[in-house]
Amino acid sequence: MSIFPTRRLRVARGPWLESYGLLLPGLIFLAVFFVIPLCLMLMLSFTVPSLGLEHYRTLFFTSAYRRIFANTFLLATLVTAVSLALGLPVAWFLAIAPRRWSQPVQLVLILSMWTNLLARTYAWVVLLQDTGPINQTLLALHLIAEPLPLMNSLFAVTVGMTYIMLPFVVFPLRNRIAMLEPALFQAATLCGASRMTSFRRIFLPAIATTLGSAGVSVFVMSLGYYVTPSLLGSESRMVLAELIAQLVQSVLDWGLAGAAALVLLVMTLFLYGVQRRLNRQPHTTP
Amino acid sequence: MTAFLSIRNLHKSYHGNVAVQNVSLDIRKGEFVTFLGPSGSGKSTTLYVIAGLMSPTGGDVLVNGRTILDVPSNHRNIGMVFQKYTLFPNMTVRENIAFPLVVRKRPRDEIEARTNEMLRLVRMEQLAGRYPAQMSGGQQQRVAIARAMVYEPEILLMDEPLSALDKKLREEIQGEIKRVHERTGVTILYVTHDQEEALRLSDRIILFNTGRVEQIGTCTDLYTSPRSRFAGQFLGNSNFMPVEIMDAAAGTIRLPGGACVENVRICDSGDVDHPLLMMRPEDLTFRKAGDCASSFDGQVRSSYFLGNVMNYEIGIPGDYTLTMRVYIDGTEHPPQTGDRVSVGWLPHKAIVFR
Ligand SMILES: Nc1ncnc2c1ncn2[C@@H]1O[C@H](COP(=O)(O)OP(=O)(O)OP(=O)(O)O)[C@@H](O)[C@H]1O
Ligand SMILES: [Mg+2]
């Protein structure tokens, strides 16, 4: 058996250790430091302080907690929608523009990815605060009389998170678009299709699975995001990750925190499953 | 009679690099015309300009005497089959073929009927529900032909549609294309650099060389009366030998060995510095030694069998090599490698380019 991928790495039906042995170190590491602690944490939700589903009842039937779920979903939906809407044109540009145009843009994207997350988030604080350049410019131009309340709002969190999520949309889409055969669109044109029709009937379906998986990745990452909502968001729009942090750090209610974490995990796995199902269409088989 | 499709002094350059220069053509309705030429000679460029996928830097393209350069390519009513596979991967065979009609918002029952008709024409009824990824290259190109013809375009352009296929499949689909052409009477412009394919399919061949039209003619015209060294060389791997012209009117030439021969066709080609004698491999025959002036004494360097003909490389004095192709009927012993032979040629079939 070749140890290098030929078309798709097929694990041979050989002796167990020979075929899966290479996976062992990674699997052991994940089991010890990730899977076991996670399971312990999730188990607490059923056992502490007493055996039962009490925590889940609290989560699902307390209006404050339900609002947190709603906030979380709203934020993830907004971030996903804006990331896709902004990311698609950027990806398109990177895929078709000459190198001397695309390379600087790509560099900016990569540099921002390599920059420390907190630094990037505080940069938004600097920009958006009442004494920040945006408000100061608008005040100086007499377009506004009072500073706009940009900070600690849904707007600020959406902007800050979209900025962090953009590369996860742009790069996969850029690669997919660059792979598309130009002759496909020439053929569509000669078939009589306008640009709009080619875009809708040929381009979008061709990138649909990539768009879908990028969307699901961003949505899932946004569901559990902590740093940006806690720095740029408002108390009244708390999200699930903030709730979990608060429960563990201040309230010390590990059981309820575990329950919230399990709900988050189940939603993530569900979305992952949906995405896998969507990708399995006949025309995508090689 | 005015031509159906005319190209007038077409010129195309990319950032100063000339791809096509001064190409003029007239094509009749229903004709099957092949653009033949070496790689980079401007065949595709000319086709893309006709399709409207590229705009020329000069010249005009006319259909029925009216320019089509101001018509956007999705309104030109031209069909095109590409070298690359261009079926829409998210659509089945049937949806692919129906696409041009759907775009044109034709009534549903007409779409249904036309699509079925095209499926029958390219014999793909069985695979109508397949996706492109589930089909062979030949099947995909047949569907591409159906898709390019379903809306009854007046002109069908084909840019090396079969070059990615193996020989057997290529011949099968050549037959299919020929049949579709006869049935529908569509005007076809076909690009290839495979001379056999060109000879097999076309009414007329347009020979391209470095962005120019070298010669236009029927297959037999081009083969029997090449007007330049390039044309003679590109079709049919000819032998060339420098000669001296003694008397142009009588067609008298002197060969490198000193012998003089009469009755040779002299042709003003413009692409040679020195007169060159061209002899087709199949016009050469084995002779008894010293038979006549128009023969060469030499030695068989190599030979290989091509089914019913033998291909010989003969070394002759002056360090020239003649390629000859001889029909083998099995009654004689063909010469073997190393044998001394005498090779005769027919002056009236040979051409001298000057
Ligand atoms: N996009 C381009 N930019 C610059 N030069 C080009 C471009 N496309 C083609 N050319 C040049 O134009 C010339 C003609 O190209 P064209 O594609 O028409 O050749 P062709 O006859 O179709 O060759 P082939 O048989 O290899 O397809 C070539 O010299 C090629 O290098
Ligand atoms: Mg070409």
B5-229 fold: Rossmann fold (3.40.50)
Q: Residues A63-78: pLDDT tens digits? A: 999 999 999 999 999 9
* A118 belongs to a structural domain: yes
Interface test with B, best of A184, A190, A201 (most B CBs within 10 A): A190
Q: Is residue A285 part of a domain?
A: no
Tens of pLDDT along B332-341?
778 888 888 8
Question: How far away is chain A from the Cα of B63, in angstroms, using its nearest Cα?
Answer: 17
Look at residue A250 and tell me if it is in a domain: yes
3-class secondary structure, B282: helix
**Residue ranges per structural domain of chain B:** 5-229, 237-353
b/e string for A152-189 if b means 16 or more Cβ within 10 A?
Answer: bbbbbbbbbbbbbbbbbbbbbbbebbeebeebbbbbbb
Per-residue b or e along A73-109, where b marks 16 or more CB atoms closer than 10 Å to that residue's CB = bebbebbbebbbebbbebbbbbbeeeeeebeeebeeb
B80 touches B156 (CB < 8 A): yes
Instruction: Give me the residue from B53, B85, B100 closest to A191, CB to CB.
Output: B100
| Chain B positions in Cβ-Cβ contact with residue A285 (cut-off 8 Å) | 133-134
> Same fold for the domain at B5-229 and the one at B237-353?
no
B94 touches chain A (CB under 8 A): no
pLDDT value of residue A1: 43
Which residues of chain A have a pLDDT value below 70?
Answer: 1-19, 281-286
Residue nearest to atom 28 of ligand 1 (CA): B40
C-beta B16 within 6 A of ligand 1? no
Cβ–Cβ gap B80/A187 under 8 Å: yes
pLDDT, position A285: 43
Nearest CA in chain A to B103: A193
Selecting from A191, A197, A286 the residue whose C-beta is nearest the C-beta of B133 gives A286
Rounded Cα gap, residues B46 and B58, in angstroms: 12
Q: Residue B264 above 70 pLDDT?
A: yes
Q: A176-185, B2-11, B165-174: lowest mean pLDDT where?
A: B165-174
Question: Best residue in A186, A189, A191 to probe B by mutation, most B CBs within 10 Å?
Answer: A191
**pLDDT tens digits, one per residue of B273-303:** 888 999 998 888 888 765 565 788 888 999 8
Place of tokens 């409207």: B52
Q: Is B43 in the pocket of ligand 1 (CB under 6 A)?
A: yes
pLDDT of residue A126: 92
Q: Assess if residue A191 is contained within a domain.
A: yes
The Cα–Cα gap between A220 and B313 comes to 72
Q: How far, in Å, CA of A51 to CA of A37, rounded? A: 19
Dump strand ranges (E) for B183-238.
187-192, 204-209, 212-217
Please report the DSSP string for A219-258 in residue order.
HHHHHT--HHHHHHS-GGG--HHHHHHHIIIII--HHHHH
In this prediction, residues B196-215 reach a mean pLDDT of: 92
How many Cβ atoms are within 10 Å of B24's Cβ, its own excluded?
13
Ligand 1 center–CA B97 separation, angstroms: 29
Whether the CB of B84 sits within 6 Å of ligand 1: no
A201 touches chain B (CB under 8 A): yes
B89 and A CB contact within 8 Å: yes
Which of A181, A197, A283 has the CB atom closest to B103's CB atom?
A197
Residue A60 lies inside a defined structural domain of this protein: yes
Average of per-residue pLDDT across B174-201: 90
Q: Where are the beta strands (DSSP E) in B45-134?
A: 58-63, 66-67, 78-81
CB contact, 8 Å: B224 with chain A? no
Note whether residue A59 is domain-resident: yes
pLDDT, mean over chain B: 89
Q: How far is B233 from chain A (nearest CA, A)?
A: 33
Ligand 1 atom with the shortest distance to the CA of B35 = 21
Residues from chain A that touch B148, judged by Cβ atoms under 8 A, are 190-191
Q: How many other C-beta atoms lie within 10 A of the C-beta of residue A225?
A: 23
pTM: 0.80
CATH class of B237-353: mainly beta
Q: Do B86 and A183 touch (CB under 8 A)?
A: yes
For residue B329, which of B279, B286, B280 has the smallest C-alpha distance? B286
pLDDT of res. A283: 56
Residues 6+ apart with CB under 8 A from B221: none
* pLDDT in the model for residue A64: 92
Residues 286-345, chain B, touching A (beta carbon < 8 A): none
String of DSSP letters for chain A: --SS-SSS-PPPSS-HHHHHGGGHHHHHHHIIIIIHHHHHHHHHHHHSSSSSSHHHHHHHH-HHHHHHHHHHHHHHHHHHHHHHHHHHHHHHHHHHS-HHHHHHHHHHHHHHHHS-HHHHHHHHHHHHSTTSHHHHHHHHTTS-SS----SSSHHHHHHHHHHHHHHHHHHHHHHHHHHS-HHHHHHHHHTT--HHHHIIIIIHHHHHHHHHHHHHHHHHHHHT--HHHHHHS-GGG--HHHHHHHIIIII--HHHHHHHHHHHHHHHHHHHHHHHHHH--GGG--
Show the CA angle centred on residue A232, arms to residues A230 and A235, nearest 5°. Answer: 55
Q: From the CB of B295, is ligand 1 less than 6 Å away?
A: no
Contact across the interface for A282 and B75, Cβ inside 8 Å: no
Range of the domain at A174: 48-280
What was the pLDDT predicted at B1?
55
Indicate which CATH number applies to the domain containing A253.
1.10.3720.10
pLDDT at B131 over 70: yes
Q: Residue range B191-210: average pLDDT?
A: 91
Contacts of B88 in chain A (CB under 8 A): 184, 187-188, 201-202, 205
A98 touches chain B (CB under 8 A): no
With a threshold of 0.90, tell me whether the complex ipTM lies above it. Answer: no
Amino acid at B244: E
Give residue B155 CA to ligand 1 midpoint distance, Å: 22
Helix (H, G, I), strand (E, B) or coil at B200: helix
Number of domains forming the structure of chain A: 1
Q: In Å, what is the CA distance from B328 to each residue of A85, B308, B339?
A: 72, 6, 17
Across the interface, whether the CB atoms of B103 and A192 are under 8 A apart is answered: yes
Give all strands of the β-sheet with B78-81 in edge-to-edge order: B78-81, B155-159, B187-192, B32-36, B204-209, B212-217
Residue A23 lies in a domain: no
